Amino acid sequence: MDWHLLGLSFATVFLSELGDKSQLAAIALSGSGKSLRAIFLGASAALLLASFLGVILGEGASQLLPTEWVKTIAAIGFAGIAIKLLWFGEQEAESEQT
């Protein structure tokens, strides 16, 4: 097993999931739910399934396309999302102030 890759993927997913919508949904459910164990298991299973699907789709894409293309497409996607959030987030904040 590649322990470096395991640690890198854990750190990346852990940091990207902090404070996202799924975590906020789990917080809301735990505030109104009676079974914290069920909420924890449901949220954990959902994250595992989403990660599994991402790995399977990523592996499939790497079989069809060269690895460099997959990395480039992912980088462009992330950059596009960042630009959209920075550009339109600023415009939304300005419109809310007025």
pLDDT digits (tens, 9 = 90+) for 18-77: 777 888 888 888 888 788 899 899 989 998 999 999 899 888 888 899 988 888 988 999
Enter the pTM of the model.
Answer: 0.60
CB 26 within 8 A of CB 39: yes
CB 39 within 8 A of CB 33: yes
Burial class (CB in 10 A: 0-12, 13-18, 19+), 43: middle
Q: Is the dihedral of CA 34, 37, 43, 49 positive or negative?
A: negative
Q: What is the pLDDT of residue 56?
A: 93
Tokens 């739910």, located at residue: 33
